Structure 1
Amino acid sequence: MTKLRKLAFLLILFIPALPAHSMVTAAHPLATEAGVEILEAGGSAIDAAIAIQAVLTLVEPQSSGIGGGAFLLHYGSKEGRIQAFDGRETAPQAVQETHFLDTTGQPLKFLDAVPGGRSVGVPGVLRMLEMAHAEHGALPWHTLFEPAIRLANNGFTATPRLAEMLRLDLPLDAFEPMAGYFFPNGEPITAGTQIKNPTLAKTLTQIATDGADAFYEGELARAIVETVQRNGGLLTLDDMATYQAIERPAICREVAGSNVCSMPLPSSGGMSVLQILRLFEMASSVTPNPTPMLQAHLMLEASRLAFADRNEYLGDTDFVEVPVNTLLSENYLKQRANLISADKSLGIARPGLNADQARASGSKLINHSTSHFSVIDSSNNAVSMTSSIEMPFGSRLMVGGFLLNNQLTDFRFDPLAANGQPHPNRVQPGKRPLSSMSPVIALNSEGLPELVIGSPGGTRIIGFVAQRVASILIHNQPIEAAIQTGSFVNRNGKTELEADTTAAELAGALEELGHEITVQPLTSGLHGIERLSDGTMRGAADPRREGSVGQIQRQSPQE
């Protein structure tokens, strides 16, 4: 690394307010460095995002990669608008609604459905990035893969987190070539081990040369399909070749004077985060000077209501009708907010459009995967991207040096809702499963990005993100403090408080209000950038993971 790069690129968890014209924060220092390298070369925020994702495929394989899917928000300074790019996986055309039922008609156990080909959907990351690059790229496509190819050939050092994830009590070594790559001599690799991946380098070189077609057609596509089918899946070459990323209208609502935007369906994250934030604002407005405990209570109650609606009504709007406008309307949210009491908890909330219906689906409690990164470039273009292969190490199937997703397990296994009607998130051919990924870009009164943030964490993503957006935009907390503070989450059940943090100290008072409490580790992976009114940028990477912040400082005219 050059002397100039060392001065410009600061691998620390938080960078104080210094003049900067571009910034990256991602879940691994090597990914952050790749993003900075591209920005230094004149790349756009989208260019940096492509380089970051390629490197994460190599160095954080347990969380995301080109074998998975993603949602990307892009703010274009020239157009002054936010676009939402959907790279979510799709179900194979041969799938049936009984896909996740056993021979007796009962839903499979979740961990039985994950390993192997049954759980693999058509990966969407590369088609999505290609679509975004065609509109917003500044550098040639092939140059954006150079950092990842270089690292794959030369090797990288296994981090403690990667080594720890390989020791999860899951059948991670059940399939080759994953077993040989991560479990040489039958034992999982340890932190500090040097890892090379020439197979991935070859794959990325093909993609860099021939574009996303190299992934969805030809030799690599055949290898993916053969691997999935050999291990019980239904994926075909036609499924691969016909996959399309989709640009969708972002959903936005005013929160604390800012225009907060996120992903539309099939991500439930955007709708649920916006519901929580508006419900929290409404409940807070009739509660003068709430204490930190009471603020947490109101946020948790808002989350109960949002999850009640999420679990009952939401699904892929290309397949099912979802009353999006109603669920986000001010009149509806005011009615829901009136249910929130400062004196006691709601308990289990019911969905709001039909109070007689019980909850249709529950939230999975197991999820350690997914990754989020945020970028602002020198032209104030911004990217907020959440990417995932779902469970740690996805389906355990490895092809071309990367892991394939298990995102089909994000569908509801039982195709029927509690009321006996078809569930909106049941599996169907070509459908995209409901997600909780919640990338956010908030615009200030001048229409410029003031917050770019998101997180991994399964269905807890919604709570992780809503809590921090409220802290930063409503309570004016600096981004570093907001991310570092303890998490509290409610998914319309128990209230989860993050162990060994100030959040855990709220347990007694919340119990007195009727919350059923569990205190446990809550491993988020929040990575965000805050842009102040004077243009100063502040970035923060979640200390619960191994990420970093990188920035390029402004140069004086003499330079």
Structure 2
Amino acid sequence: MKGIPAGVSASHPATARAGLQVLRDGGTAGDAAVAAVLACCVAETIFTGLGGGGFATYFDAATGEVTCLDFFTAVPGLDDDCRAGPMIAVDVFFGGLPQVYSIGGASVGVPGVPAGCGEVHRRWGRLPWAEVVSPAISLAKTGVPTPEAHARTLDACAPALAWGEGAAVYTPNGRRLAGGDLLFHPGLATALDALALNGPSIFYTGDFAPIVVDTVRRAGGVLGPRDLAEYRVLETPVDHAELGGYRVRARHDLNRTVDTIGGLPADLTRPHRAPGVAAALRDQGRQRIGDTTNISVVDPDGNACVITTTLGLGSGVWLPGLGINLNSMLGEGELITDDMRPGRRMSSNMCPLVVIDPDGRLAVAAGSAGASRIRTALIDTLLGVLIDGLDMTEAIARPRFHVVDDTVHAEFGYPRAELAALDQAGWRIKQWPDLNHYFGGVTAVGQAGAAGDPRRAGVGLLL
């Protein structure tokens, strides 16, 4: 069994380069992952940002221990001194069909990305904090070219992203950003400079905290100073399942990724497995879009850090002078549960994971964007690498299918023999004309190499 290479995989070349730079400077997987996440908050604001939330999974090569951290958004309202105003409904078209989302101040949950980055660095970092933040600052000062794949996502999500102050960022001079155009956020370098100097607490109890509260409340939200001051990163239980003699380890997410892996059919040969995989993936019709991105890092010591973050679609509520769009997680219908009391952590489909080989060594570090398609994308990639023997690039780039109720949505080029098996088993087939960012955005580093998802302009870079 070959060893795993050190490297970084991300959904933007600039993000991956930021993480790789930190690895070259002697940083750990934790250092590099945090640097890449902060770079995401500059280069991938169509998907994520400092105003969002996320999850991290860390593999310690020396001990074999896997740790999952939850720094997702929390439900605001602990201060109990104001009422939420109405949210703003926006239609986002995906696959030709409208999806209704809600944005505005009342959609803003307590952000966790700054706190999460700080906790990952505290636990597993080695370089000084300011050095880890530095690559993101450099990107924020110049702006970053928009990949064509990101521009296509913007086309779908513009009703939310280009709303209000976002119009000047995403539709400068009245024209929506296209592939190759510069994405630049005035004030974001200032915010990152302050983060480097003061640490994440600046957002929760420091100078930025009253700015966050005042901005959200003026926009009709209820987030208050106590919501920020009492926010904490949580350590969550680690779930596991077997796949082809390997052990997959991750948090227990809303879409039950690990449980689904455990429910895959015994016969995983192609094309026979297709109906059984489809049955395991049946997801009660959730088809939310979601703006999400993922970072996967392995360092030279074999440690891995996988971090997935999101803004939802973004609330359209921007911190004045700081270039930060706040999340819209309270406007994401599939995340609203019966226990949405103030202070409670919201649920999520995000599932950064690691795979351990039969010898106890790291085999894969992976995560994905794509809301309810995260599970689909991750499972198909793991089947490609662990069962089908593909390298990471082939496994991530090949056509996938996603299940909604009794319909299989299949990307262009999906094998005809498997579609026939699905049809014979009674599934309805909807064939898409292309490889589409709807089907997720995997980034992974493993024994099979490092790769990003072409659906999201992803890249994998080895040290």
TM-score, normalisation: structure 1: 0.74
- 1:166 partner SS: helix
Q: 1:542 aligns with which of 432, 443, 453?
A: 453
Contact 2:75 2:109 in 1 (8 A): yes
Structure 1 counterpart of 2:388, one-letter code:
H
1:351 is aligned to none
**Which residue pairs with 1:398 in the alignment?**
318
Could you tell me how far 1:457 is from its partner in structure 2?
Answer: 0.8
Q: 1:31·1:55 contact (CA, 8 Å) conserved in 2?
A: yes
Question: How far off is 1:492 after superposition?
Answer: 3.6
Query: 3-state DSSP class of the match of 2:302?
Result: coil
The Cα of 1:430 is off from its aligned counterpart by 1.6
2: CA distance, partners of 1:504 / 1:199:
51
Cα distance, 1:464 vs structure 2 = 1.3
Report the CA distance between 1:195 and its aligned residue: 4.2
Per-residue Cα deviation, 1:441-460 (whole angstroms, up to 9, x for no partner): 01112322101111111111
Structure 1 residue 469 corresponds to structure 2 residue 382: yes
Show the 5 A alignment for 1:149-548.
Answer: 149-168=137-156, 170-172=158-160, 175-264=163-252, 267-269=253-255, 272-280=256-264, 283-285=265-267, 292-304=270-282, 307=283, 363=286, 365-391=287-313, 394-399=314-319, 400-410=322-332, 425-498=338-411, 500-503=412-415, 506-520=418-432, 521=436, 522-531=438-447, 538-548=449-459
State the match for 1:134 in structure 2: 122
Question: What's 2:55 paired with?
Answer: 71
Amino acid at match of 1:398: W
C-alpha spacing 1:100/1:525, structure 2 compared with 1 (3 Å)? farther
Count of equivalent residues: 448
* 1:104-134 CA-partner distances (Å, limit 9, x unpaired): xxx9999665221111101111212211211
Look up the equivalent residue of 1:186 and give its one-letter code.
Answer: G
Within 2, Cα distance between the matches of 1:297 and 1:100? 46
After superposing the two structures, state which structure 1 stretch, 109-118 or 462-471, moved more. Answer: 109-118
Distance in 2 of aligned mates of 1:77 and 1:462: 25
> Structure 2: any 5+ residue segments left out of the alignment?
93-98
Residue 100 to residue 93, structure 1, CA distance change in 2 (3 Å)? closer
Give the TM-score of the pair, scaled to structure 2: 0.89
| Deviation of the 1:67 alpha carbon | 0.9
Distance (whole Å) between structure 2 residues aligned to residue 201 and residue 407 of structure 1: 25
Relative to total residues, which structure has the larger strand share, 1 or 2?
Answer: 2
Distance 1:149 1:101, change over 3 A: closer
Q: Offset at 1:101?
A: 12
1:178 is displaced (CA, Å) by 1.8
Q: What secondary structure is seen at the aligned counterpart in 1 of 2:131?
A: helix
Distance 1:169 1:31, change over 3 A: closer
SS of aligned partner of 2:6: strand
CA 1:273/1:22 → structure 2, altered by over 3 Å: closer, same or farther? Answer: same
Choose 395-404 or 136-145, whichever is displaced more.
395-404
Is contact 2:203–2:209 with CA below 8 Å preserved after alignment? Answer: yes
Bigger CA radius of gyration = 1
Residue pair 1:74, 1:382 contacting (<8 A) in 2 also: yes
CA distance in 2 between partners of 1:195 and 1:169 (Å): 15
Preserved CA contact (<8 Å) 1:155 1:196: yes
Alpha-carbon distance in structure 1 between the residues aligned to 2:90 and 2:79:
15
Residue 505 of structure 1 and its aligned partner are, at CA, apart by: 6.5
Q: Which residue of 1 aligns with 2:38?
A: 54
Structure 2 residue matching 1:430: 3-state secondary structure: coil
Cα distance change on mapping 1:136 and 1:277 into 2, 3 Å = same
Classify 1:27/1:461 alpha carbon distance in 2 versus 1 (closer, same or farther; 3 Å): same
> Which one-letter code corresponds to 1:239 in the other structure?
D
In 1, Cα distance between equivalents of 2:217 and 2:403: 38
CA distance in 1, matches of 2:385, 2:209: 44
How far 1:222 sits from its partner (Å)? Answer: 1.7
Counterparts of 1:76 and 1:19 in 2: how far apart (Å)? 15
Aligned-CA RMSD value? 2.9
Return 5+ residue gaps in structure 1 as ranges: 1-16, 309-361, 416-423, 532-536, 553-559
Distance 1:213 1:294 in 2: 53
- TM-superposed deviation, 1:502: 1.9
Aligned residues of 1:411 and 1:433 also touching (Cα < 8 A): no
